Structure 1
Amino acid sequence: MENKTAHIKYRPDIDGIRAIAIILTLFFHAKIPYFSGGFIGVDVFFVISGFLITSIILKNLNSNSFSFKEFYIRRVKRIFPVLIVVLISVWLIGWNYFLLDEFKLLNKHLAAGTVFSSNLVLFFESGNYFAASSESKLLLHLWSLAIEEQFYLFWPLSLFIIWKFQKHVLKIIFAIIIISFILNIYTISFNKVMAFYFPFTRFWELLIGGFLAYLNLFKKNSIDIYIDNILNKFYISINASNLKSILGISLIILGLVFCSNSEILYPGFWALFPVIGSFLLIFSDQNSFINKYFLSNRVMVFIGGLSYSLYLWHWPILAFSNTINGGESSLITNTFCLFISLILSYLSYILIEKPIRFSERKLTLNILIFTPIIIGIITSLLYFYKVKPLSSHDPLITKINDSLIDWTAPNAHIYEIYEKSNPKNHNNGKVLYWGDSNMGQYWSRIEKIQNEHPENSKSILFAYQTGCFPVLHVSKINEVDCLKWSEKIYKLRNDPEIDTVVLAANWHALYEAKGIVFNDINNHEEQIFYNSVAMNKFFNQLSSQVKAFKENRKKVYLILNIPVGKEYSPKSLLTRSFINGIKINEKKFVDNPKFMSENLLISSKLKKIADENGAIIIDPTKLLCHNSSCQVMTNDFYPIYLDSTHLNASYVRENASFIDETLLIHEKSFENSKIN
């Protein structure tokens, strides 16, 4: 091979491909119509990154000038300057506008961001049903940067070793790609979140770019000649370069369309669309029609040049906007956020990124290296020592924060049944409590009554699992754990020691959650959302279960929905603005006629099931609501909800007396507590 220079030639069309990647990503995050599949922009970035990094390493290896030190100095100067500014800015936002628990989580994410482990932190958070929503995590987007940086740790040394086997470099790279891709396909079959966030299930995308780098440097001309000869044989009047670019842009567009389906498992095979599309676009000659006249035009090159700064800035701004707007901003607001992101990105590029990237000063380099370390140490200490944000000085806001973590329930995330025997009398019988997290919310009251009235209470079998209805054949899309769980619990209908069964769930989710499905005997998934046939199957199955429990001499209770909706969340009691900071709205009741009308449809079906099978209905709204006005705070301004769909443990423990009759023998219950 002939010697190459240690620098790769600048290609404006690659900045144009970067522009495609960042536009897709920004429009996806801003929820621009028709861009719900725009998350594939990250995959385009991965291919570009793998191509450029591998091209640099290969050229230096080929000219015997490769230096690990120089490689990582370049990476530091490229990655750290704007990242440091964004991290500090995000911390200041959290300090001024976040609640204690939000601020603690932010410090955790900041620490993870400084050591490029955000993807792993987010993966381990994903198993927590009550974790903060994605829209409120200001550094959520750093997961992809973490994967890239993990690749930069793995790949230079690997390629340095592979290069010693000169005749087999391409084969070895291809073999690693296949191994990583197989890991992706295998992992997604049992844990789609792991497949999304773990580096070794995503490295194949960067390695495709690396594979292309080798082809482009050492094989491109021979491949183009081979393709042109085939095209000429079939009298196709298009050259290889134009064909590759047309196919490349087409695959990315198809990826955007196909990946708009929320039911797909990603990355999986679907990631091949943006990955192969990016591969072909880069592999095309920069003088091909699409690359020259579309990707290399001034606007695309300008946007592509800002892509790194745009990526870092846009998500914290959108996420902060979502936070101060109660969870979701309007399309107009999101568009304005993208405009602000563009301005900040341009300033960052001109004032920070470009000057530092080409600076030769050692002091600048030392500052870049040690500043993230200092930020990581400080934020780690803030996380572990629970240093408080400004909002914690307000006692009412402190109550809001306390309510957000006010949850008590056993075995919250494992598929086991919690048993609590009556310490005084084992002959009082057993109650089976079965449901999703809306059953879990009642644990504090159930435990309190059994502890305070051991002579008159029964033993407890508490079977709750977040997200799983107490109904056979019902699960979430592409998940089977709920199916196995419900079958396990339903077998307890034959247990003679159980004399009472209590079923509770967020039944209202049937009318708002698209991911809930009914699995028929052929394991065919049928969405329940706005599907009258599947909805009828759901309620028919519930009815047959209630009937079976009754036939086995069980007393059956059906607990109707508590009021649900963002109006009930403690965070809805807050008003946040960029200018005025965080304030509390001291309202004790909210009007939600929409929920009340929708709940009437569901409760009427449940009441019909109860009437037909001899079950007993418990209606929490009798305690919580007057007409369409429902309680959200006690008289001393403590919220009664944990979030938008669950009561908190403190309120339930002292007030949810409607649950007492399910646990006490001789149908003894205590007078309903009055609303505080």
Structure 2
Amino acid sequence: MKFVETSSYRKDIDGLRAIAVIAVILFHFGALPNGYLGVDVFFVISGYLITSIIARELNENRFSIFNFYIRRTRRILPLTLFLVFVSLAIGVFVMLPDDLENLAQSVVATNLFSNNVLQAITTRNYWDVVNEFKPLIHTWSLGVEEQYYIIYPILLFWVSKYHKKLLLPTLIILSIASLVLYFSPFEQHEKFYYLPFRFFELTFGGIAALSLRDKVIAHNYALFFVVGLILILCMNLSFLPSQYTLLITVMLTLGIIITANNKDRMSSIILQNQVSVAIGLISFSLYMWHQIILSYTRYFVVQKPEILHLSVIFFLTILLSTITYNVIEKPFRNKNSIRIGILLSILGLLFTITTLFSLYIYWKGGVMKDVPELAISKSDAKRNIHEYYNSRIYSYDKPFGNNPSQIKVLVIGNSFGRDWANILLESNFNRNIDLSYYDPLDNLDSQSRIKDADIIFYSTATKEDVKKLGIDEYKLFIVGTKNFGINSGYFYNYSGNDYFSQRTLMEDGYLAYNNKLKSEWGDRYIDLIGKIMDKNHTVPVFTPDNMFISQDCRHLTKAGARYFASLFENELSSFFDKNHNKR
């Protein structure tokens, strides 16, 4: 096998970055099924480049951990903190309290290199459609890389100082350990977000760097790997488990890094042309800008961007990325342009402003202005007022009372069940009922209340659920599911004076589940969706008195509960009159 020397700067790496960042952008545009794997390409590149730099400096006895961290600081933090500031500034003006509070959490987590941890705890599913409205959701990958940068140079320095020959075996052992973790039965969101499960991607790049020592294999294999990588990113490989798709992507990326060279004419055409290299140079700015622009477009321009919108977003992303690359990235990387004292002062100021302001926003529950549509006032802000409204129903988790004139009503279910309980309490029949609630996951003392209840509402349940609890179906009604779109922010920013005419498309998953339950339960089913949905499968966002039905598109506000209580007044009258006459 023949090796050839490479220069310290490799155009093909920038070309590879271009493929990766375009893949990620197109994935977020909904145009590339596996485009998210572009992040894994970045991880392999980072591992290769960082290890190459550290190994070279260790061999020349000039490696400094302090200088390494300063270089990483210059490379990553100026642009990151600037765009964190931009995202927060826009969010304060256009976001509803819940979304702004979530953004504030992401700002602090991004600043502390831990947004991957936050998303693993709060979001869990990266592919959830609600994440499309989060400007900083993509900084989870920065968290993974920055945590790696903190640990990795210290590890290499320590091993090199005492056992230099063990550098490569150490990386191989760590890679195997990480791979074992990755293929172990952990939760999918843990594998996606946490560094230990991603470590092998970075160390594979490191192994290549230590093995090649600034050489590449002089065979024309690179074209094969480039074409393979592009196919993997473009094809819908749903038949293949995601962990294998990721592993193939990592190996193809390694293949390109190992074999790409100037003598391979075909791969050079793809990876080293002026356009690819130019995109690769601004790839960090492109990655950071695209999700911010896309999420805010969804928030106050159009919820589901079409080709024209996406084209404008793409060119705007390129324009802003070119500007920030030349105005922020390049100057801050150059130690002669911006000295370390000025660098740390600017970054410290941005870090302090964004972190402290975000903590203040979080303390205020995201309430930075009056939102009359949610009955929220800045002067009398209460944290998570709508969550408290839903969770107040827990106070009804108790046995029935002894008032014989009241109808004993038992509500069973999760947060959707608590919504129905609020509808009952907001109705004109609230004085006529003795309400009891329990969550089937938490409450073991249920049989006495099931037996004593005159009427039982269960949200939502299958025949099997009811059978397990031994509920008599003659006194049972199943409360349906509900949904009010993806995000309320767009409607808030475009509410104008014509609130009630604004409608949002029902999500397909909720509609299918609703139809399944309705078919299963027949006239025992309370169809919340059917009560408000038109023939185009759209539902209202606001009540007739211009209040949000739901803040999070799932659970009811107080105004939303009152609205449904009025819609179901006849049905409730029928339920309670029949049971009253039986007594």
TM-score after normalising by structure 2: 0.81
Gap runs ≥5 in structure 2 = 1-5
- State the shift of 1:24 in Å: 0.8
C-alpha distance in 2, partners of 1:597/1:316? 26
Give the AA of the match of 2:332: I
Q: 1:366 to 1:589 in 2, by over 3 A?
A: closer
From 371, 374, 377, give the equivalent of 2:355.
377
Percent identity over paired residues? 27
From 169, 174, 184, give the equivalent of 2:182.
184
The answer to whether residue 276 in structure 2 is matched with residue 295 in structure 1 is no
- State the shift of 1:369 in Å: 4.2
Q: 1:306 to 1:665 in 2, by over 3 A?
A: same
The answer to whether residue 104 in structure 2 is matched with residue 149 in structure 1 is no
C-alpha distance in 2, partners of 1:417/1:425? 18
The answer to whether residue 536 in structure 2 is matched with residue 618 in structure 1 is no
The aligned counterpart of 2:250 is 275
The answer to whether residue 440 in structure 2 is matched with residue 463 in structure 1 is yes
C-alpha distance in 2, partners of 1:354/1:497? 73
Q: In 2, are the aligned partners of 1:248 and 1:278 still within 8 Å (CA)?
A: yes
How many residue pairs were aligned? Answer: 564
C-alpha distance in 2, partners of 1:426/1:132? 48
- State the shift of 1:198 in Å: 0.8
Q: In 2, are the aligned partners of 1:449 and 1:457 still within 8 Å (CA)?
A: no
SS of 1:463's equivalent?
coil
1:223-622 matches, within 5 Å, as 224=217, 241-243=219-221, 245-257=222-234, 261=238, 266=242, 268-287=243-262, 288-360=264-336, 361-386=339-364, 392-393=369-370, 395-396=372-373, 406-407=386-387, 408-410=389-391, 419-424=397-402, 433-434=411-412, 437-445=415-423, 457=434, 459-463=436-440, 500-505=455-460, 542=462, 552=472, 554-560=474-480, 564-566=483-485, 570-571=488-489, 573-576=491-494, 584-589=496-501, 609-610=520-521, 616-620=524-528
Answer with 552-561 or 148-157: which moved more.
552-561
Once the two structures are superposed, residues 116-149 of structure 1 have per-residue CA deviations (whole angstroms, 9 ceiling, x without a partner) of 11111111211599x9921111111111111111
Q: 1:87 to 1:617 in 2, by over 3 A?
A: closer
C-alpha distance in 2, partners of 1:608/1:550? 21
The answer to whether residue 193 in structure 2 is matched with residue 197 in structure 1 is yes
Q: 1:631 to 1:27 in 2, by over 3 A?
A: closer
Q: 1:198 to 1:282 in 2, by over 3 A?
A: same
Q: 1:649 to 1:179 in 2, by over 3 A?
A: farther
SS of 2:230's equivalent?
helix
C-alpha distance in 2, partners of 1:300/1:199? 29
The aligned counterpart of 1:216 is 212
SS of 1:639's equivalent?
coil
Please state which structure has a larger fraction of its residues in helix.
Answer: 2
Q: In 1, are the aligned partners of 2:480 and 2:525 still within 8 Å (CA)?
A: yes
1:45-60 matches, within 5 Å, as 45-60=42-57
The aligned counterpart of 1:640 is 549
- State the shift of 1:571 in Å: 3.7
C-alpha distance in 2, partners of 1:38/1:265? 16
Answer with 207-216 or 163-172: which moved more.
163-172
The aligned counterpart of 2:3 is none
- State the shift of 1:503 in Å: 3.7
- State the shift of 1:60 in Å: 0.8
Give the AA of the match of 1:194: E
C-alpha distance in 2, partners of 1:345/1:36? 24
SS of 1:420's equivalent?
coil
Answer with 86-95 or 36-45: which moved more.
86-95
Answer with 315-324 or 615-624: which moved more.
615-624
The aligned counterpart of 2:35 is 38
SS of 2:183's equivalent?
helix
Give the AA of the match of 1:406: H
C-alpha distance in 2, partners of 1:446/1:63? 76
Gap runs ≥5 in structure 1 = 1-6, 225-239, 466-484, 508-541, 577-582, 670-676
Q: 1:319 to 1:400 in 2, by over 3 A?
A: farther
Give the AA of the match of 2:326: I
Once the two structures are superposed, residues 234-286 of structure 1 have per-residue CA deviations (whole angstroms, 9 ceiling, x without a partner) of xxxxxx5322x14422442343256653x8764x3321112111111111141
Give the AA of the match of 1:192: Q
The aligned counterpart of 1:116 is 113
Give the AA of the match of 1:278: T
Q: 1:432 to 1:194 in 2, by over 3 A?
A: farther
Q: 1:431 to 1:322 in 2, by over 3 A?
A: same
SS of 1:668's equivalent?
helix
The aligned counterpart of 1:10 is 9
How big is the alpha-carbon RMSD for the aligned residues of Structure 1 and Structure 2? 4.6
C-alpha distance in 2, partners of 1:78/1:601? 48
Q: 1:329 to 1:63 in 2, by over 3 A?
A: same
The answer to whether residue 572 in structure 2 is matched with residue 652 in structure 1 is no
C-alpha distance in 2, partners of 1:158/1:388? 41
- State the shift of 1:208 in Å: 0.8
Q: 1:343 to 1:649 in 2, by over 3 A?
A: same
- State the shift of 1:596 in Å: 13
C-alpha distance in 2, partners of 1:546/1:552? 8
C-alpha distance in 1, partners of 2:111/2:542? 39
Q: 1:492 to 1:87 in 2, by over 3 A?
A: same
Answer with 285-294 or 313-322: which moved more.
285-294
C-alpha distance in 1, partners of 2:100/2:471? 52
Q: 1:662 to 1:20 in 2, by over 3 A?
A: farther
Give the AA of the match of 1:557: F
